[in-house]
Amino acid sequence: MAPTLYMFHESPPSRAVMMTAKAIGLSLKLKEISYLDQDNLKPEFLKLNPQHTVPILVEDSGFTLWDSHAIMTYLVSKYASNDSLYPKDLQKRAVVDQRLHFESGVVFSRLLRITRPILFHGRSTINEEDRNNMLEAYSFLESFLQGTKWAAGDFVSVADYSLVASVGSIAALVPIDGKKYPNVAAWLKRVEGLPEFEANRKGHDAFPGLFKGKLKAM
């Protein structure tokens, strides 16, 4: 039986896992929960994940795992026919891990600093500090992509899925200047051309709609 993924289409981490599953040919049983309706705080959800975050993977055996980065690397390690998305070579894997930590600790963290106050606390503007912090994250990614096509080197990895889900989403609120960040802009187009990006598209396209009527600038 296919593993179950509790997810929210507009959630970048959910979409990163969905892209990974599509890339390795793994069918997932999707169960969408609404963050806006606070489904994630219901008792039955908290039993699955006391951190009340999505995505959550539940195997038929009952094994339960959350955090998109842990889920992606687990799925590749268990179900993929090869290790191309998460190499066994220690140095290549270390670079992929670094990019995943960068997405989690820098990009997604800064995304949340912008989005949560708007969605849940009535803020109607993006303050200059948060905007500049996101632009700094773009500049870091720009340097990572210098001389290479993909986030962790010359191969597509789970780091590309994780980063494109977040960067491609927050760009709707903090636009990416293609002249200032040409490597990032070119990388986004390359990732969007991958077949597995289709698993990301619905949420990617819906993400800006979460903020309509909430931001003065939109």
Q: Which residues are catalytically annotated?
A: 11
Check whether the bond before 55 is cis (ω within 30° of 0). yes
Mean pLDDT value across residues 198-209 = 98
Mean pLDDT value across residues 186-202 = 98
Say how many C-beta atoms besides its own lie within 10 A of residue 38's C-beta: 12
The candidate with the shortest Cα–Cα distance to 58, out of 96, 6, 124, is 6
Local structure of 109: helix, strand or coil: helix
Percentage of the chain beyond pLDDT 90 is 93
pLDDT, tens digit (0-9, with 9 covering 90-100), for 153-179: 999 999 999 999 999 999 999 999 999
CATH architecture assigned to 4-79: 3-Layer(aba) Sandwich (3.40)
Q: Are 210 and 216 in contact (CB under 8 A)?
A: no
Mean pLDDT value across residues 111-130 = 96
Give the pLDDT confidence score for residue 218 in this predicted structure.
46
The candidate with the shortest Cα–Cα distance to 16, out of 143, 217, 147, 203, is 203
Mean pLDDT value across residues 4-32 = 97
Place of tokens 């200059």: 128
Mean pLDDT value across residues 99-125 = 97
The long-range contacts involving 41-46, CB below 8 angstroms and separated by at least 24 positions, are: 45/6
User: Which residues are CB-contacts of 206 (< 8 A; sequence separation ≥ 6)?
Assistant: 9, 10
Give kind and range of the element (H or E) at residue 32.
strand 29-32
Give the pLDDT confidence score for residue 217 in this predicted structure.
53
Q: How confident is the model at residue 39 (pLDDT cuts 50, 70, 90)?
A: confident
The candidate with the shortest Cα–Cα distance to 112, out of 134, 96, 91, is 134
Domain boundaries 90-211, corresponding CATH code: 1.20.1050.10
Give the pLDDT confidence score for residue 187 in this predicted structure.
98
Domain ranges of the chain: 4-79, 90-211
For all residues of the chain together, what is the average pLDDT?
96
Mean pLDDT value across residues 87-115 = 98
User: Which residues are CB-contacts of 135 (< 8 A; sequence separation ≥ 6)?
Assistant: 174
